[in-house]
Amino acid sequence: EAQVTQNPRYLITVTGKKLTVTCSQNMNHEYMSWYRQDPGLGLRQIYYSMNVEVTDKGDVPEGYKVSRKEKRNFPLILESPSPNQTSLYFCASRGGGGAGNQPQHFGDGTRLSIL
Amino acid sequence: SQKIEQNSEALNIQEGKTATLTCNYTNYSPAYLQWYRQDPGRGPVFLLLIRENEKEKRKERLKVTFDTTLKQSLFHITASQPADSATYLCALLSGGSYIPTFGRGTSLIVHP
């Protein structure tokens, strides 16, 4: 089954404690991205990756890092999490390189609470 | 700045009626417009895509229109069912863009 898998689904942690949210896709997609979704603000893109070893900032990259060492994986790293990063996070992938006419496939989300 | 507006108020309709959701945009020249469905606690699921040179697209009970003059897309669900209750998001992309811009979504509630 084609899917995007995120882990963990839920995480409560404390300020400053480094964490990583993993994302894996089994569709051989080149393009992957991370979003955060906050009430009243909608989905905002954090980082995206066009292919292995190619990443770029989205609209809200501050406080986040990503890496793309393998095509299927695109982890999101919070080196020193702060309470304003409490949010619902989604990983997504799509095929077709940079083509905007390809649908995005989303994971089921990771709810992060940073105390 | 670029802006996408979807009605923030929930749309309540009776089962069997046609639901119409609106996506308006300003300061944007999108080449593609996509509609997604999002259920509580789940990621968005792609429904339909329409290109700037297309006026209308259909898929089963779904219909999307795209008016680049009015800078508006309408999303219709005919013969709506309670199972159609969800939040619907529109997303715009410029040609060659890698960063889609999402609207905040509109909640649809279909009453039996």
For residues B90 and B66, the answer to whether their CB atoms sit within 8 Å is no
For residues B108 and B21, the answer to whether their CB atoms sit within 8 Å is yes
Residue of chain B with shortest Cα separation from A4: B43
What does the mean pLDDT of chain A come to?
Answer: 93
Task: Tell me what pLDDT residue A92 has.
Answer: 96
- What is the CB neighbour count within 10 angstroms for residue A16? 11
Nearest CA distance, B36 vs chain A (angstrom): 9
Residue of chain A with shortest Cα separation from B31: A100
Task: Tell me what pLDDT residue A97 has.
Answer: 58
Task: Tell me what pLDDT residue A66 has.
Answer: 98
Task: Tell me what pLDDT residue A98 has.
Answer: 55
For residues B84 and B19, the answer to whether their CB atoms sit within 8 Å is yes
Nearest of A72, A90, A57 to residue A24 by alpha carbon: A72
In angstroms, the Cα distances linking B8 to B46, B74, B88, B89 are: 20, 15, 11, 11
In angstroms, the Cα distances linking A36 to A44, A76, B55, B83 are: 5, 11, 31, 26
Instruction: Calculate mean pLDDT across residues A83-95.
Output: 95
In angstroms, the Cα distances linking B37 to A85, B87, B88, B101, B110 are: 25, 6, 5, 15, 14
Would you give per-residue pLDDT tens digits along chain B (112 residues)? 778 999 888 999 999 999 999 999 988 888 889 999 999 989 999 999 998 889 899 999 999 999 989 999 999 999 999 999 999 999 998 766 667 889 999 999 999 9
Nearest of A68, A61, A67, A60 to residue A29 by alpha carbon: A68
Instruction: Calculate mean pLDDT across residues A15-44.
Output: 94
Q: Answer whether A42 sits within 8 Å of B103, measured CB to CB.
A: yes
Q: Is the peptide bond before A8 cis (omega within 30 degrees of 0)?
A: yes
A58 CB neighbours in chain B (<8 A) are 99
Task: Tell me what pLDDT residue B96 has.
Answer: 66
Query: Exposed, middle or buried: residue A61 (CB in 10 Å: 0-12, 13-18, 19+)?
Result: middle
Which of A43, A59, A100 lies nearest to residue B32, judging by beta carbons? A100
Q: Distance between CA atoms of A26 and B1, rounded to whole angstroms?
A: 36
Task: Find the range with the poorest average confidence among A24-28, A59-63, B36-40, B51-55.
Answer: B51-55
B42 CB neighbours in chain A (<8 A) are 108-109
| Residue-wise pLDDT tens digits, B69-87 | 999 999 999 999 999 999 9
Which of A104, A107, A108 lies nearest to residue B46, judging by beta carbons? A104
B95 CB neighbours in chain A (<8 A) are 100
Task: Tell me what pLDDT residue B104 has.
Answer: 93
Q: Answer whether A40 sits within 8 Å of B104, measured CB to CB.
A: yes
Task: Tell me what pLDDT residue B98 has.
Answer: 64
Nearest of B10, B36, B79, B21 to residue A94 by alpha carbon: B36
Residue of chain B with shortest Cα separation from A30: B98
